[in-house]
Structure 1
């Protein structure tokens, strides 16, 4: 295991495990948890070392994502927004923007979110851009942006008249200035991870200057990106499954029922098998998208079953909203639909019918 993974796990076990339920509902607790990851310098793992990143391999990055999800779904969900923003900036051709942001991101000196899931929606774009002198004018709604009051800025995606998408950095706050208006909703009441402060952003005649443009993406970019990254989000579900098994193991030690121990062994073996197959699939360029979705759906199904097992074994106490099994089960629901596409929905439904 890489050194930064060992340091991260030690931090999660000592500082996150005791307050994981509080982190789920308290934004200030979650922000403190994120600061802790920043102190370890792990908030922009894929970024090259010349910009202060760890330049982590794809394998180590996947291990990191699973590790975070095992200890706190809210922290996993929040930090991956920032990691995604760092990845987008890393691939940008805007060197000035890179120099301003990237050296500050690994330690969380500047925190950045993302708002581009609306590109997955069919029909009329929810937010549009038109080219104007010196940049673009943005109008419309970003349905989901995570990290209000935690992130300073977010990378927005808006659709141009020709179907391309422009990505740019905008402030993550309520503003009404000569540059235009940004209006944020109240944080959504989600089934889990409410502390992440997920809001809707409405932009009215917001001017995005060229120097704040991260990239221009071709028509259909989001579908191609989802296909390329079809398996990446599986590791959050695997981490959630591991969290359920952690609870089952502790319950077995407490109650001593043989059948709980047998369930732990069976599910642990299946989890290890699922992880191995996903890791192998990531190296296999010939695997079809449908096969990748089947593997991700398996990981999701495992998260639901392991967390449900934790609820059942915890008995009546699992009815309490602050019980660990209750939180992990709700996190499994979130992972069931995160980054969902039509193909993933079909694959996931095939695991339950």
Structure 2
């Protein structure tokens, strides 16, 4: 954790405004995280390159890095779904040829799992054919394009089974990336991926899982996304100094709730973290006055990032919990 704090304060935060204005995160940021073993965060204890301890410590590490630079952390955090898939797959090709590089951060990954979370017609369809699958349709959100090597993609077949595939992160005749213009984290390389009957051979298939089963084990990603929001909130609170009021106590409470929340409580815990980030960032902007509207201000960056985190990686239940928090009557001060 000490390494994470040092990197956040000495490297990521001083460069955060420069990254915010850039078209991609500097490669040196990712190299530094790899050097300290952070790309192995999601590996099993037997393979881990990082002795981080328990799950609350994992969330705290994500929070600390996000307090330095959300954009860098946002790209890096996508990697861990790919790492876990490569380690746990029964596909020997992927486990032997991809996992070692992913573990060390020499190979870097990103995820496009929108089809896994949506109900109704799948945006990305997986059609079985001889020798593999054809992917056809759209993955609306993919982060890290141009900065990662491997894509973990989920298509869905006619029986609502998810087909997870490991692809190379390059444009070709059947896979095209369209850049998205985002409110924040613009340097994250977030794109829409369009598949035109893109062939995936069987040796690139990670697993097939019924969608209903996959959704039952989606809680870790919700907690990770909440930790990103706590990182933004923490940075804003530090900028408030003596004007922070009760916000430090709220941050501690939100951190505890994110760890302790049951499945039924998790959406509200994520909403709590995101709403706190929005209030803390807004307070920091007010504290720093009219110069907060200028591009060189950390306050305006944090307000945009907090807004982004209200919406990123959401679910219907999280949206409802956020709307309740944002629209409920408040007691007079």
TM-score, normalising length: structure 2: 0.92
- Give yes or no for the alignment of 1:237 onto 2:217: no
- Give yes or no for the alignment of 1:129 onto 2:100: no
CA contact (8 A) 2:24 2:189 kept: no
The verdict on how the C-alpha distance between 1:221 and 1:327 changes in structure 2, with shifts beyond 3 A counting, is farther
CA contact (8 A) 2:25 2:71 kept: no
- d(CA) in 2 for partners of 1:315 and 1:47? 44
Give 1:33-48 correspondences, 5 Å limit. 33-48=29-44
CA contact (8 A) 2:25 2:72 kept: no
Q: What corresponds to 1:220 in structure 2?
A: 212
The verdict on how the C-alpha distance between 1:53 and 1:211 changes in structure 2, with shifts beyond 3 A counting, is farther
Q: CA deviation at 1:124?
A: 1.6
Give 1:9-158 correspondences, 5 Å limit. 9-48=5-44, 50-51=46-47, 53-54=49-50, 56=52, 57-158=54-155
TM-score, normalising length: structure 1: 0.87
Q: Deviations over 1:163-183 (max 9, x none)?
A: 10100111211112xxxx111
- d(CA) in 2 for partners of 1:327 and 1:319? 9
Secondary structure of the 1:183 match is strand
The verdict on how the C-alpha distance between 1:37 and 1:29 changes in structure 2, with shifts beyond 3 A counting, is same
- d(CA) in 2 for partners of 1:86 and 1:109? 12
Q: What corresponds to 1:268 in structure 2?
A: 248
- d(CA) in 2 for partners of 1:63 and 1:101? 28
Give 1:161-200 correspondences, 5 Å limit. 161-176=158-173, 181-185=174-178, 187-200=179-192
Q: Deviations over 1:108-134 (max 9, x none)?
A: 210111101233233221111111112
Q: CA deviation at 1:234?
A: 1.6
The verdict on how the C-alpha distance between 1:166 and 1:175 changes in structure 2, with shifts beyond 3 A counting, is same
Q: CA deviation at 1:33?
A: 1.2
Q: Which runs of 5+ in 2 are unaligned?
A: 328-333
CA contact (8 A) 1:182 1:202 kept: yes
Secondary structure of the 2:38 match is coil
Q: What corresponds to 1:344 in structure 2?
A: 318
Secondary structure of the 1:314 match is helix
Q: Deviations over 1:18-55 (max 9, x none)?
A: 11111123245443212211111211212136545326
CA contact (8 A) 1:51 1:103 kept: no
Q: What corresponds to 2:330 in structure 1?
A: none
Q: CA deviation at 1:276?
A: 2.0
- d(CA) in 2 for partners of 1:96 and 1:288? 35
- Give yes or no for the alignment of 1:246 onto 2:246: no
Q: CA deviation at 1:309?
A: 0.5
CA contact (8 A) 1:81 1:112 kept: yes
CA contact (8 A) 1:43 1:83 kept: yes
- d(CA) in 1 for partners of 2:249 and 2:9? 23
The verdict on how the C-alpha distance between 1:320 and 1:65 changes in structure 2, with shifts beyond 3 A counting, is same
- d(CA) in 2 for partners of 1:13 and 1:274? 22
Q: Which runs of 5+ in 1 are unaligned?
A: 250-260, 282-286
1:280 maps to which of 260, 267, 275: 260
